[in-house]
Amino acid sequence: MNTGTVQAIEKLAGDFMHQPYELYERLRTEGPAREVIMPHGVKVWIVTRYEDVRAILADPRISKDGRRINELFARHSGATEEPSSVYDDELSAHMLNSDPPRHERLRKLVSRAFTTRRVERLRPRIEQIVDELLDAMQALDGQEADLIADLAIPLPITVITELLGVPVEDRDAFQRWATTLVGATHSAEEVGAASAAVIDYAGRLIELKRVQPGDDLLSAIVQTSEDGDRLTDGELVAMVFLLVAAGHETTMSTFGNAMHSLLRNPDQLARVRADPALLPAALDELFRYDGGVSLATFRFTKEDIALGGVTIPAGEIVVAALGSAGRDPAKFPDPDRLDVTRPVSGSLAFGHGIHYCIGAQLGKLEVQLGIARLLARFPHVRLAVDPTELHWKPSTLMHGLVALPVRLDPQ
């Protein structure tokens, strides 16, 4: 059932995520929700206005039950599987693909190990990792560097492998698997092989942490119990995958976009460089302006849901456009202008409701320290190419740069 003006279903271009904001502006003007066909052929309802996006993210009538999503993808595309279902089912059975009460149980067990104190204890080590990466960049002696390959990619994967307690000798292999799993250009066969490798490795690592626990997050999660309840081995494997995928791809794209935004707005870059104390608050504005996660992961309606003059029927896939919500003028005046002194409240960059990103604090800390120490070391950093030469990754949900070439010019 649909009320209001019936609009033709629009097919989104394969490269719509390269420059999505004009599309988002038009969709916000047309109505609260619109049926579109995603580039991979699946029909979804996209929600673009801030208040509606916020409501959808917290609506208990919207489900993320991974057990049903493949069925709905097949129904709404004629395909036999969800585009991302090349992952082994064991990897997909994590809390991001779960509804209450299972979600509450999984998140409660994990959040006890993912405390503010544990994240803050990582600050000195993250600073050290950033400095080591900047040392390698400085060795280029002012030549061109790529902030994606040289900083945005290695920083979060190094942090997450250390956080999980992956032995040093295994980190190169683990990084290769993680890059394949969260990348957008690998074949189904490559992703399937990486999926199997992660399941096998994670199972052995979990057993090691069970008998020889260390001072790391995975050991803490393995040992954590609530009224005698613990995560099963399968749930632990899925949790490892979720932490790697969320902690790697999202931080990488968010950092790259934040630096891209500053480099494209030299007056705002000058403000942050002149007053580094602005940076922690400025992050919310940078994430609002051009966040790394443009569309939230797929959900579906369990019953009819009315948004304004539009009713989304039960059994429909719904996509909440986080990037559009951040540019909604009804919430953020003059939204297409970057202002690092803007007081931002109610940001949806890390989601909202029960699925709010459990690693948001860690991601913010990595981006903050990466930008702060980069600007301190290379205060005259600037784009090395014309902005029109930059390319965005082919992705359905993520909005991130393939590369961000810069001139370091330390003097």
What phi and psi values does residue 48 have, to the nearest 5 degrees?
Answer: -120, -20
Residue 185 reports pLDDT greater than 90 = no
What phi, psi does 295 have (nearest 5°)? -125, 135
| Pairing between β-strand 299-301 and β-strand 62-63 as defined by DSSP bridges | antiparallel
- The verdict on residue 3 lying in a domain is no
The residue-averaged pLDDT of 265-275 equals 96
Q: Compute the Cα dihedral for 262, 18, 186, 322 and give only its sign.
A: positive
For 301, residues 6+ apart whose C-beta sits below 8 A from its C-beta are: 61, 62, 63, 312, 313, 314, 315, 316, 318
pLDDT band at 186 (very low <50, low <70, confident <90, very high): low
Mean of pLDDT values over 163-167: 87
At residue 3, the pLDDT reads 44
pLDDT > 70 in the chain, percent: 91
| Averaged pLDDT for residues 133-145 | 87
Query: What is the per-residue pLDDT for 372?
Result: 97
Q: What is the average pLDDT across 201-219?
A: 89
Instruction: For residues 290 and 284, give the distance between their C-alpha atoms in angstroms, rounded to a whole number.
Output: 10
Q: Is residue 362 part of a domain?
A: yes
Inside any domain, residue 1: no
Whether 21 is covered by a domain: the verdict is yes
Count of domains observed in the chain:
1
Non-local CB neighbours of 344 within 8 Å, separated by 6+ positions: 281, 284, 285, 288, 332
Would you say 57 and 351 are in contact if contact means Cβ atoms under 8 Å apart? yes
Q: Is the pLDDT of residue 244 over 50?
A: yes
Residue 2 — very low, low, confident or very high, per pLDDT cuts 50/70/90? very low
33: three-class secondary structure by DSSP: strand
> What is the DSSP secondary-structure string of 204-227?
HHHHHHHHS--SSHHHHHHH--BT
pLDDT of residue 79: 47
> CA nearest 131: which of 361, 377, 408?
377
Residue-level pLDDT at 87 = 46
Residue 86: per-residue pLDDT = 43
Q: Is residue 226 part of a domain?
A: yes
Q: Please tell me the distance from the alpha carbon of residue 383 to that of residue 389, in angstroms, as a whole number.
A: 11
Comparing 120 with 247, the larger pLDDT belongs to 120
Q: For residues 278 and 168, which has the higher predicted lDDT (pLDDT)?
A: 278
Q: How far apart are CA 38 and CA 42, in angstroms?
A: 5
Residue 168 has pLDDT above 80, yes or no: yes
pTM to 2 decimal places = 0.90
The overall average pLDDT reported for the chain is 87
- Write down the residue that tokens 């801030």 correspond to: 50
Mean pLDDT calculated for residue range 219-235? 79
**CA distances (Å), 404 to each of 106, 144, 246, 256, 385, in order?**
37, 10, 21, 7, 9
Q: Is the pLDDT of residue 229 over 80?
A: no
Say if 70 falls within a structural domain. yes
Whether the CA torsion 393, 394, 398, 399 is positive or negative: it is: positive
Lowest mean pLDDT among 88-92, 104-108, 192-196: 88-92
What is the helix (H) or strand (E) element at residue 44, kind and residue range? strand 43-47
The pLDDT of 109-131, averaged and rounded, is 86
- Average of pLDDT values for 145-151? 95
Residues 6+ apart with CB under 8 A from 1: 304, 311, 313
Within 8 A by CB and 6+ apart from 30, the residues are 7
Would you say 208 and 177 are in contact if contact means Cβ atoms under 8 Å apart? no
- Indicate the helix (H) or strand (E) that contains 59: none
The closest alpha carbon to 202, from 234, 158, 163, belongs to 234
The per-residue pLDDT for 85 is 43
The CATH number of residue 288's host domain is 1.10.630.10
pLDDT above 60: residue 385: yes
Segments forming the whole domain that contains residue 130: 10-407
Q: What is the pLDDT of residues 34-86, one digit of tens each?
A: 999 998 888 999 999 999 999 999 999 999 887 777 778 777 775 444 444 44
Are residues 188 and 79 in contact, defined by beta-carbon separation less than 8 angstroms?
Answer: no
- 181 neighbors 198 (Cβ within 8 angstroms): yes
Question: Average pLDDT in the 221-250 region?
Answer: 79
Examine residue 320 and state whether it is found in any structural domain, yes or no: yes
In a domain, 301, yes or no: yes
